[in-house]
Amino acid sequence: MPEIVTFDRKLEPEAFAPDAARVLRGDPRQLAWNHYTDASGQFAAGVWQGEPGAWRVRYAPHEEEFCVLLEGEVTLQPDDGPSVRLRAGDAFVVPGGFTGIWENHTRVRKHYAIMTLRDA
């Protein structure tokens, strides 16, 4: 029987940053503690942290992300619509195909769950 995965395990984070050509402001270095990836590699969940800054994002058409902000404040500015400002405690979904600007106004930490359908 599969075990329940909790996010209290001590993991080494993966460090990364957006491609420099996509960065608009700041130095948005990031860390991710991926606590779970399913056997198909299409679903992952964990904790993400990002430093202040703004960068262009592009989600694949079949990539959906559910987030719960644990700390900080972020604005998502779609290319084709009004911006959304989110704060610690807010939960939201970034739908597949989203393109726009992700801006961390402060250090941001979130729980994430990402589904990427390969054969969609």
pLDDT tens series, the chain, 120 aa:
889 999 999 999 999 999 999 999 999 999 999 999 999 999 999 999 999 999 999 999 999 999 999 999 999 999 999 999 999 999 999 999 999 999 999 999 999 999 999 875
If one looks up domain 14-116 in CATH, what number appears? 2.60.120.10
Q: What is the domain partition of the chain in residue ranges?
A: 14-116
**Nearest-angstrom CA–CA distance, 27 and 49:** 13
pLDDT of the residue at 1 = 83
Question: Contact at 8 Å (CB) between 53 and 26?
Answer: yes
Residues 6+ apart with CB under 8 A from 119: none
